[in-house]
């Protein structure tokens, strides 16, 4: 798995979750629709109640006015009762009759004027007027308490719905979104486990041919194209390395003979450049083959033998620690890995700088520590420094990648950091000889 894969396997933060955005959108739309529908129903209900109240008031006023006009003298039986709100106002503006609830206004001047609503005994009364023939004007009122209470109840219910509905809708939308996006989340988890450096196996497809099925099928087609492209790249890289190998071998042999014959310093430097090119082609070949195609040739060698190889390949290296023991390894591969580290250190430190390699051995582990006096590793690269073709020192960018690959093939690892004293420090570890299996 790639280093960043663990970050993507964690659950997405709620504020970035598609599930949350869908639930929020669904809740907002549903709330808007419910609010509009509820508001419309409430307005219709209140309007109906208002019309019923007005019709009732007008019907009562018309009935009483008809009693005065047609029969006269029927006031006591028609407008009486404790719940009646009725006044008869003569043409002079005096109240000649008042129902029991308005008895205080009888035989006084009419005080309500043209008000449609008047307070009477802590009750709001809505009133209308009618002509009462020779008696003057009939004033009829009807209490609004029931209408106001119903209106308040309807508005309270609307407000409660607007408060409770968002929470209910959001939870419902979250649950529905979770159920609906389960397949998409599973597809994301499957795609997240793809590691192009190890395997490009196709992803399993769900039984239902929905959008998730189409997504995974598209990813599988993409994996096939990636695998074909990688195969072509490896084939091309292998051909290039093969074509470079033979001329470099001849060039190295010729420079070696010329150096032995003349002792010229320029020829010696040219021989070192040829060695550099040879190791670069080896790195390219290892990259082209891939880790899974390589096999280690295990040998138990003296550490001094490894030291002699490295000293010839990277002159000027300081060897510290205990080099008197033995190492169980693939000598060629381990030499290649350590040579890459030392060459990078020499390149970073310059001709006047120092490069040291320290060997520390225990029965369980062998540790090589390579330190240079250069400027150190670029902090912005981090672990990317071990990826192919990523370089912070102007090199090909293959050395560190290949060195880590070789260390892990041995069962160890390679890490890098900056030293507090300055410069870069690389630590390569492999298992100690005590852990080796004699049969293997």
pLDDT value of residue 149:
83
pLDDT along the chain (440 residues), means of 10: 41 60 74 79 84 88 82 48 74 88 87 86 87 87 83 81 77 72 70 67 73 78 81 75 76 82 79 72 67 73 92 90 93 90 89 93 93 88 76 63 90 92 93 60
Residues 370 and 357 sit within 8 Å (Cβ to Cβ) = yes
Q: Please give the pLDDT value at position 7.
A: 39
**For the chain, which domains are there?**
1-180 (3.30.450.20), 186-294 (1.10.287.130), 295-435 (3.30.565.10)
Query: Residue 13's pLDDT is what?
Result: 58
Q: What is the pLDDT of residue 439?
A: 47
Smallest CA-to-CA distance from 344 within 419, 435, 416, 430 is with 416
Q: Looking at the whole model, is its pTM more than 0.85?
A: no
Q: Do residues 173 and 27 make contact, with C-beta atoms less than 8 angstroms apart?
A: yes
Burial class (CB in 10 A: 0-12, 13-18, 19+), 6: exposed
Nearest-CA neighbor of 87 among 57, 63, 111?
111
Intra-chain end-to-end CA distance of the chain, in Å:
28
What is the predicted pLDDT for the residue at 326?
Answer: 92
pLDDT on residue 50: 86
Phi, psi dihedrals of residue 195, rounded to the nearest 5°: -125, 100
CB atoms within 10 A of CB 309: 18
Query: 10 Å Cβ neighbour count for 429?
Result: 19
């Amino acid at each position: 798995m790639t280093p960043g894969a663990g970050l993507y396997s964690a659950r997405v933060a709620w504020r970035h979750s598609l599930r949350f955005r869908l639930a929020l959108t669904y809740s907002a739309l549903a709330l808007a629709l419910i609010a509009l529908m509820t508001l419309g129903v409430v307005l219709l209900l209140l309007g109906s109640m208002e019309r019923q109240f007005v019709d009732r008031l007008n019907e009562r006023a018309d009935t009483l006015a008809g009693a005065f006009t047609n029969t006269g003298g029927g006031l006591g039986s028609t407008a009486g009762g404790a719940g009646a709100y009725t006044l008869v106002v003569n043409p002079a503006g005096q109240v000649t009759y008042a129902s029991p609830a308005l008895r205080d206004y009888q035989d006084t001047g009419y005080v309500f004027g043209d008000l449609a609503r008047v307070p009477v005994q802590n009750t709001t009364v809505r009133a209308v007027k009618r002509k009462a023939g020779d008696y003057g004007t009939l004033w009829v009122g009807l209490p609004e308490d029931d209408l106001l209470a119903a209106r308040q109840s309807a508005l309270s219910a609307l407000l409660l719905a607007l408060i409770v509905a968002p929470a209910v809708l959001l939870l419902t939308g979250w649950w529905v979104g979770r159920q609906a996006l389960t397949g998409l989340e599973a597809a994301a988890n499957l795609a997240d486990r793809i590691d192009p450096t190890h395997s490009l196996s196709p992803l399993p497809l769900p039984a239902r041919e929905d959008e998730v099925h189409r997504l995974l099928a598209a990813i599988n087609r993409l994996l096939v194209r990636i695998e074909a492209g990688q195969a072509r790249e490896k084939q091309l890289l292998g051909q290039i390395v093969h074509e470079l190998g033979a001329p470099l071998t001849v060039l190295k042999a010729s420079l070696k003979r010329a150096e032995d014959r003349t002792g010229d310093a320029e020829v010696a430097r040219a021989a070192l450049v040829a060695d550099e090119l040879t190791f670069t082609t080896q790195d390219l070949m290892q990259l082209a083959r891939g880790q899974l195609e390589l096999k280690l040739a295990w040998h138990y060698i003296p550490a001094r033998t490894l030291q002699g190889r490295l000293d010839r390949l990277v002159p000027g290296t300081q060897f510290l620690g205990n080099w008197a023991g033995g190492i169980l390894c693939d000598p060629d591969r381990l030499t290649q890995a350590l040579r890459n580290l030392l060459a990078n250190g020499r390149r970073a430190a310059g001709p006047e700088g120092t490069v040291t390699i320290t060997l520390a051995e225990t029965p369980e582990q062998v540790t090589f520590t390579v330190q240079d006096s250069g400027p150190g590793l670029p902090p912005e690269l981090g672990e990317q420094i071990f990826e192919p073709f990523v370089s912070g020192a102007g090199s090909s960018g293959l050395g560190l990648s290949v060195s880590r690959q070789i260390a892990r093939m041995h069962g160890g690892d390679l890490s890098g950091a900056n030293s507090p004293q300055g410069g870069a420090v690389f630590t390569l570890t492999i298992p100690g000889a005590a852990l080796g299996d004699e049969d293997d």
